[in-house]
Amino acid sequence: MVSRCANPACSVPLRYLRDGRLFQFEVRSRSLAGFESPRHDKGSRQIAHFWLCGHCAETLTLTFDELKGVIVVPVLSPAD
């Protein structure tokens, strides 16, 4: 369950979904052995939810990195 802003530098608790931005990612759990067989399923799929508070959502967004998981990145302005 989402309880705080996903930005590690922020500690705002989630009170209302309308105050900020909710993100949903499909994540796959990998085998404990650290490798996958090409013939087997590539891990179980789960939906994970993350939330950025209104202040953080003005300048940041969340993205999924295969190696790091969900990470906070700056929002690119149209001029970038």
51 inside domain: yes
pTM above 0.95, yes or no: no
pLDDT attached to residue 31: 41
- Domain coverage including residue 16: 1-29+43-75
**Burial (Cβ within 10 Å: 0-12, 13-18, ≥19) of residue 51:** buried
pLDDT attached to residue 33: 40
How many angstroms separate the Cα of 3 from the Cα of each of 33, 49, 71?
A: 31, 10, 17
35 inside domain: no
66 inside domain: yes
Count structural domains, the chain.
1
52 inside domain: yes
Residue-wise pLDDT for 17-73, tens only, equals 889 999 999 876 654 344 444 545 556 778 999 999 999 999 999 998 888 889 999
Is the Cβ–Cβ distance between 62 and 6 less than 8 Å?
A: yes
34 inside domain: no
pLDDT attached to residue 2: 85
56 inside domain: yes
67 inside domain: yes
